[in-house]
Structure 1
Amino acid sequence: MVDISLVTILLPSFCGGVLILISHLILGRQVLNRGIVFMDLAVAQIAAMGAVIAHIMNKALESSHNHLQETFKNGLETVMPFVFSIAGACLISKLSRHAATELEAIIGCIYILAAACILLVLASDPHGAEHISDTLGGRLLWIQWSDLQIPGLATLALLAGLLVMPRLLAGKLFYPVFAILITMSVKLSGVYLVFTTLIMPALAISGRVGIKSWITGYSLGIIGIGTGLMLSSLFDYPGGASIVVMMAVACALFRVIVKSPATASP
């Protein structure tokens, strides 16, 4: 028998995961086509670095109770991740034109540099380990319906833009759009789940085209999100990590059972 109260608790998390998946499968296929697989990790980590720096700056303002300074503190937490991620995406866009053969290696270096900076900035923070855990694993299990409003509008804007301009993401505009959506996703789900939803379903349907490929990709992602959340609730496992594992299982089984056109024998 289905526990209605459990379903009610997990429904915002499930919808949040599906909302992230909707845009991430689109972006993930672009990432694979462009050969910049680690870009999402790098941009997500840069966005997380912006959030951490905003947190440190806010701590410096904690002694003040001035209304304007409180507003400034809230603005920092919202704006800084976007500023950092868009700047990082624009840097990668420039590098894609001037250092194409070394791009993946450079993106990997950017990722590890951002991760190291987070560790250094939080080294003296007593809650540093908690912030790092939230950055990587996310807080998908604890999101509320109100947390999905702005990401939902951003996803609708992406879908509407693609409907009007099907090649919207084919040019340079891909990078800022990618940065904005990734930053929103990191806040909801963490770096691990961002990478997972971007790459795993897209990789599972690599070489496939047409509406069936999209249905398959979204189905695999939804299976991973649903079973991961159930595993998390039943055994008290971290939500983000559970989804990562279950989505990996679903996508790997699909690739093993159903041969990709790219690898099938002629």
Structure 2
Amino acid sequence: MSTEALDPVILVPALLAGLLVLATHVPLGRQVLARGIIFIDLAVAQVAGLGVIAAYALDMQPGAFGVQLAAVVAALAAAALLRYAESRWPEILEALIGGLFVVAASIAVLLLAGNPHGGEHLRDLLTGQILWVSPSALVVAAAVYAVVLAAWFGLRARQGGTAFYVLFAVTVTVSVQLVGVYLVFASLILPALAVRRLGTGAGLVCGYAIGGIGYALGIVLSALLDLPTGAVVVCTLALVAGLGGFIRARAGRAPDGEAA
């Protein structure tokens, strides 16, 4: 273990990426829990990743406009499909979400089967490359998330079914390419679980605090221990969220609050 690994030039952009993701994922995660569609983020994230892999299969370069377009179109198609399923078969929606995830993941594996870098692409899709996020990616993500948050809070888009799915698809598309599928799921669900019984204001504040501490701790530990950052951050998010939930439970149950 060496403190020389704590290079702010690398760690600060990674932390900024995590905080940007949390800005949208904490309120979205609370709504996901309220709707009872826990695995929608995994499904939509996997389909967005499938769009990226399909673009790579067509020899597009990472970061190219065509790759971004493929990811957005794939995620929006998945969101539209799930919105339709919610209106027609709400009783089996979670099962359909799981089915969509496993089919998209299997197609991704098939597309990468003949690619000599297939394993690397799949690993990057799942665990992300948060330590190597570029300033331009942070700027794009910040701009997209600002629009999403304005629609979410200013226009109260969270109250509409279709608007929720569209915002969710766009947000997850950006996030997957920023931090990977695993961190997208962890950022949405773990802070939301820890603060699920808090009201809107307190829930958001505590959710952001839990997420921020989890990301900061995970990024520092991964640098010190030379371990994959995405995987370490998932574990520290789980640890901090679990600790936060435990502390709150010991402090006594508060009245259920409205989900953001």
Q: Give me the whole-angstrom Cα distance separating, in 1, the residues matched to 2:213 and 2:204.
A: 14
Instruction: Find out whether 1:58 has 2:47 as its counterpart.
Output: no
Aligned to 1:160: 150
> Alpha-carbon deviation of 1:111?
0.3
Contact 1:22-1:218 at 8 Å conserved across structures = yes
State the Cα deviation string for residues 124-171 of structure 1 (Å, max 9, x = none).
111000000000000101012221111101111122224432x21111
Contact 2:5-2:224 at 8 Å conserved across structures = no
Contact 2:6-2:223 at 8 Å conserved across structures = no
Q: Give me the whole-angstrom Cα distance separating, in 2, the residues matched to 1:249 and 1:144.
A: 28
Instruction: Find out whether 1:111 has 2:101 as its counterpart.
Output: yes
Aligned to 1:8: 9
> Alpha-carbon deviation of 1:225?
0.1
> Alpha-carbon deviation of 1:262?
6.9
Matched AA of 2:203: S
Aligned to 1:188: 178
Q: Give me the whole-angstrom Cα distance separating, in 2, the residues matched to 1:238 and 1:174.
A: 32
Contact 1:139-1:188 at 8 Å conserved across structures = yes
Aligned to 2:199: 209
Greater radius of gyration (CA): 1
Instruction: Find out whether 1:169 has 2:162 as its counterpart.
Output: no
State the Cα deviation string for residues 95-146 of structure 1 (Å, max 9, x = none).
0011100000110010011011111110111100000000000010101222
Contact 1:19-1:152 at 8 Å conserved across structures = yes
The DSSP-based 3-state class of the residue aligned with 1:185 is helix
Percent identity for Structure 1 against Structure 2: 37
5+ residue gaps, structure 1, are: 60-69
State the Cα deviation string for residues 218-258 of structure 1 (Å, max 9, x = none).
00000110000001100111111010000000001111222
> Alpha-carbon deviation of 1:261?
3.6
Q: Aligned-pair RMSD on alpha carbons?
A: 1.9
- Out of 98, 121, 124, the position equivalent to 2:88 is 98
- Out of 212, 215, 228, the position equivalent to 1:225 is 215
> Alpha-carbon deviation of 1:4?
10
> Alpha-carbon deviation of 1:174?
0.6
Task: State the TM-score, normalized to the length of structure 2.
Answer: 0.91
Aligned to 2:129: 139
> Alpha-carbon deviation of 1:78?
1.7
Q: Give me the whole-angstrom Cα distance separating, in 2, the residues matched to 1:220 and 1:74.
A: 34
> Alpha-carbon deviation of 1:58?
1.4
Matches within 5 A, 1:27-42: 27-42=28-43
Q: Give me the whole-angstrom Cα distance separating, in 2, the residues matched to 1:47 and 1:157.
A: 19
Q: Give me the whole-angstrom Cα distance separating, in 2, the residues matched to 1:90 and 1:186.
A: 19
State the Cα deviation string for residues 70-115 of structure 1 (Å, max 9, x = none).
9xx9332121010100000110000001110000011001001101
> Alpha-carbon deviation of 1:3?
6.5
Contact 2:5-2:223 at 8 Å conserved across structures = no
Q: Give me the whole-angstrom Cα distance separating, in 2, the residues matched to 1:226 and 1:213.
A: 20
- Out of 115, 120, 125, the position equivalent to 2:110 is 120
Q: Give me the whole-angstrom Cα distance separating, in 1, the residues matched to 2:234 and 2:84.
A: 31
Aligned to 1:88: 78
> Alpha-carbon deviation of 1:6?
1.5
